Structure 1
Amino acid sequence: MNVLLAIAITTGILSGVWGWVAISFGLISWAGFLGCTAYFACPQGGLKGLLISTLSCCSGVFWAMVIIHGSALEPAWSMLGYLLTGAVAFVMCIQAKQRWLGFVPGTFIGACATFAGDGHWQLITVSLLVGLVFGYAMKNSGFWLAARGRQEASPLAEHASPDA
């Protein structure tokens, strides 16, 4: 079976499951899908990719809260918020020098989710984390399904006549 088709199948099935899990447990479905997206987008795969995308997303949640709380310190001078946003965005990028925080898009995904979730970082974090696990399951179960499809097709190919 084609890898893309296999991943599409497992992603479709597990997306429906995620929707049910999110509603059943009071999680934010779109934030979970951002977690899935972060795992899929991370250049490193497997458990290492899951760890890197998890740490990067969680650092983004942290940095968003720094901006949210820092900007609230001096509401009369809105320039502080802009300066803080610029400085934190710089740090969000430069932290990628650290191997385990090297996925900059994941950091921005975590921050954007936190901003979109009005700073409710606890719920955003849990939703992102469960979404990351679902992303891992979607992609890796797709790889498993594709490999299984190839294994099952192999014996058939050995017994087929060359003229068939």
Structure 2
Amino acid sequence: MSTLLAISLTTGLLSGIWGWVAVSLGLLSWAGFLGCTSYFASPTQGIKGLGISLLTNLAGVGWALVIIHGSQQFGSDIIGYVLTAMVSFFMCIQAKKQWLSFIPGTFIGACATFAANGHWQIVIPSLLLGGGFGYLMKASGVWLQARSQVKVTITQTPSAP
């Protein structure tokens, strides 16, 4: 079995489970899929990649709240645009720190927060659990592919004369 097929199978199965978990816990299933996507897109994989993905998602939530509350504080569209420009700069420059180096993860967290109208209390657990599901999707797919290779190797070994 190819790695792509194995990851596709486990991702399909775990996506259905995530949908049920999200509804059962009152979370945003779409935000969880953003957390999952963030992990899959991260250039660093494994536990370290999951950590970087989740930290950048959380940083994005924080930056979005700065924009939301800062814009409301000043009550001017122009000030809001200037604030957005400044915060976007910081969202990128924070990548100088290794654990905040995945810039798309930061923007994913911010976008999820904007889409949820600033309700970070539901965005954060959705992103975190979704990222965890993303990790499980890939790890279980890699495991399944490796297991299928072992079986193929055993069954293809020629018998002794």
Report how many aligned residue pairs link the two structures: 160
Measure, in 1, the Cα distance between the counterparts of 2:36 and 2:159.
40
TM-score normalized by the length of structure 2: 0.97
Fraction of identical pairs, as percent? 59
1:27-46 Cα offsets, whole Å, 9 max, x none, are 00000000000000001000
Cα root mean square deviation, aligned: 1.1
Q: Deviations over 1:87-117 (max 9, x none)?
A: 0000000000100000000000000000000
Distance 1:160 1:79, change over 3 A: farther
Deviation, structure 1 residue 156: 1.2
Other-structure match for 2:73 = 73
Residue in structure 2 matched with residue 49 of structure 1 by the alignment:
49
| Distance in 1 (alpha carbons) for counterparts of 2:73 and 2:24 | 37
Q: Secondary structure at the match of 1:130?
A: helix
Q: TM-score, normalised by structure 1?
A: 0.96
Which residue number in structure 1 is paired with residue 148 of structure 2?
149
Residues 1:120 and 2:130 are matched in the alignment: no
- Structure-2 separation of matches of 1:149 and 1:155: 10
| CA deviations over 1:46-92 (Å, ceiling 9, x no partner) | 000000000000000000000000000111x2211000000000000
Tell me: CA distance 1:6–1:72, structure 2 relative to 1, closer, same or farther (3 Å): same
Name the aligned partner's letter for residue 49 of structure 2. G
What is the one-letter code of the residue matched to 1:84?
Answer: L
Q: List aligned pairs for 1:22-41, cutoff 5 A.
A: 22-41=22-41
Q: Secondary structure at the match of 2:142?
A: helix
Q: Please, which runs of 5 or more residues in structure 2 have no aligned partner? A: none
Question: Counterpart of 2:147 in structure 1: which amino acid?
Answer: R
Amino acid corresponding to residue 21 of structure 1 in structure 2: V
Deviation of 1:160 (Å): 7.1
Superposition deviation, residue 157 in structure 1 = 1.5
Residue 10 of structure 2 corresponds to 10
Runs (4+) off by over 3 Å: none
Per-residue CA deviation, residues 94-142 of structure 1 (Å, 9 max, x unaligned), is: 0001000000000000000000000000100100000000000001100
Cα distance in 2 for partners of 1:68, 1:49 equals 28
One-letter amino acid matched to 1:39? Y
